[in-house]
Structures are given as C-alpha cells and as structure tokens.
Amino acid sequence: MANNPAVLEQQLIAWRHELHMHPETAFEEVETSRFISNLLEAAGLDVHRGIGGTGFVANLKVGTGKRVIGMRADMDALNMTEEGEVPWRSQIPGKMHGCGHDGHMIMLLGAALKLAVQPNFDGTIRFVFQPAEEPGTGAKAMMKDGLLEKFPMEEIYSLHNRPVKPFGTINTTSGPIQASEDNFTITIQGKGGHASAPQNTIDPMIVASQVILGLQTIVSRNVNPQSCAVISCTEIHTDGAHNAIPSKAVITGDTRSYSPEVQDLLEKRMREICMNICQAYGAKCDFLYTRVFDPTINWKDQVKKCVAAGVRAAGAENTFDDFEPSTGSEDFGVFLQQIPGCNMFLGTGENEVMSNNTLLHNPRFDFNDKIIMTGVNYWYELAGICLPKA
C-alpha cells in the first residue's frame, strides 16, 4: 500500500473519515490513540502507549545513525456540534474535529507508513501523537510523564493546517510564530442596592467599566510598540437585576504575546490597574491570572530544514519563510522550550476569498483531503533532510 501513492492516499482518506466520525476531546482520545497506534505497530514500529494519558510514541529506526528527531501530531477534537453535511460528519453529539487534528494525525501516519517501507534516512524518528492540544495541557502532560527522558530527541517538528493560506503552500518563520495565551478572572466586590438609590451603593458595574478601559492602556502605553500584545475582556457577569445594582461583577478574558517578558509585564500592570481602580472606588478586587499556552518560538536552523523539505515536497514557488506570526496559540510551544524545532502551516485554502465555513473552529469546518499527500510528502522529505544517509 505505502509503495503505491494512489492506493495510500485513498486509504488515508478513508481512515481520516473514520477519525472524523468518532472525535474524542482532551484526554479522552482512547479509541483514537488505539486506532493510530495499532496501525503503526502493525507496520513494524516500536510503539509506547500511555504517555501523558492517551498520548503515545512510535519509534522507527533505520540504519546505524545515532541522531534522533521527533515528528508530532495532535489528536484531540473540540467540544462543539458539527453542522456540516459531509457523509463522514461526527457521530458523537457535541464533539467534532473542527481544527483538523484528524488530518494532522493521518498525514503523520501516512509518512510513517511510507518511511517504514521506503526509508530515506539514517537514524531514529519518534512519531509523537499528543493528546489535549486544545486546552493547552497535553504537551505538559507528556513532558511530566518523562517524554524527553524516556525518548530523547535532538529536535522536534510539527505542522498545522491553515485554511486561509493558499492550497499546497508551506508557511513558517524563524522566531515567534504563535502567541502565548494567558487567562484572567477579575472579581470586583462592591455594595449592591436599589437602582433608585445609587448613592447608597458601591456600584461594581462602574468599577468594572473603568477597569476594562484601563486595561486597554497597557498595550498602548506600557508595551514596547515593537512588541506584540493583546488584552481582550470577553465576558462580564453580575448578580444584578433591572432594578438592583449588583454587589459583584466578574470580568474574564485572555491576553496574547510572544515573550515571557511581555507576559510578566501584562500580569503586573493588569494587577496594579485592577487593584488601584477598585481601591479608588471603595471596592475590593480579586485578580487571578493563569498562564495556559506558552509562546511557540521556532528555532532558526530547524526552520531552514523545514523550508528545504517544503521546496522538495511543494516546490520553491509554494514555500515561504516569512509567515506573519499568528496571535493564536499552540501547545507545541512547550516542546520548543526544551529542544530545538519548528512548527509550520500547511495551506489548505482553495478559494481566493475564504468563507466562514472553511475557517478553523467553525462548526462547518472539514479538513481538506486533497492536501493529505502534500503533508505526507513534506514529512517524508523532512526525514531525509534531518537524518541524511551517509
């Protein structure tokens, strides 16, 4: 099968549809993990399961080379209801592969199967299938289980589909490519009362409004203009009513940036602004700031290898090393803090103007099967570039 590209492609598409019909979310990828790992084991790879919960590693060693690299795919789906009409739509209520992780797994699986029968490298490849990328906890769980101690790697690579990039393009860049994500919860405790007598209250709605406006000055007045930062207040909840001034208001949201230094600055200034505004109005404040995703920072030398693989797999005219960093987040950044590596985006868009139903995390999203073999070939070429034969 792996020797015949057409046959391999059709089989991979069928497997992708099977995964799409049976999505599993973070740390619940039991059948997903079993399905992929059994196929790799049947192909002769050395499989180790139960790493970070449902994650696993499949090793392929060829020749006598001592070098070891990792290739990673994420496995989890999203907690959302699919609205698409494809025959292979999700059969699990409230869950769907709305980010294309089903396609990521299949492309890496296809590359592993091809490399097993047509090896173009000398050394060891560790195929890392990671759970729980969406909540940003899967990579840390694998690391906590000793991924790098049990299965050491010199470098690691990942790819993600990108519907808003032209079909078949390879897109990456050195340095920051995706942002951190930090979540915050600001609880403002005032003094509620009748809406007709505000003079007897400490209105947390007024305080919350000032806090929200004050937070926006951090990006414009505290963050270096050459750096990137986003502060988004996304929800506000109170215990008030039409005729009752609330006693409490809760603001939630998130921040994005590309460096730990900016993360530290955002947390510090947000805390100061919240506490001082609340004090000025006589309210009390509880400020909770949680770091969820680390920034994804590509390593320069590994970017060069990805670009070289892209040129071989997709052509120089379709390979780009000047991707504009995204403020979206990616759990892969945890690995890149420990070992060199690179994340890249594989363009899957076929329309000049992308419509909403093609975007990631949209209930009508479906991975573009036409791109599968480009992804397989990219991984295949990357293996030969990272672990060349003598």
- Cite the active site residues: 76, 133
Pairing mode, if any, of strands 175-178 and 296-298? Answer: antiparallel
Helix axes 30-42, 101-117, angle to 10 degrees: 10
Q: Quick one: which of 305, 376, 380, 301 has its CA closest to 339?
A: 301
Contacts 24+ apart (CB under 8 A), 354-358: 354/163, 354/164, 357/84, 358/163
User: CA 215, CA 276: separation in Å to the nearest integer?
Assistant: 12
- Whether 170 and 245 have beta carbons less than 8 Å apart is answered as no
User: CA 327, CA 255: separation in Å to the nearest integer?
Assistant: 10
Q: Which amino acid is at 299?
A: W
- Adjacency order of strands within the sheet including 248-257: 229-238, 248-257, 180-189, 284-293
Q: Which amino acid is at 75?
A: M
Q: Quick one: which of 341, 381, 345, 384 has its CA closest to 153?
A: 341
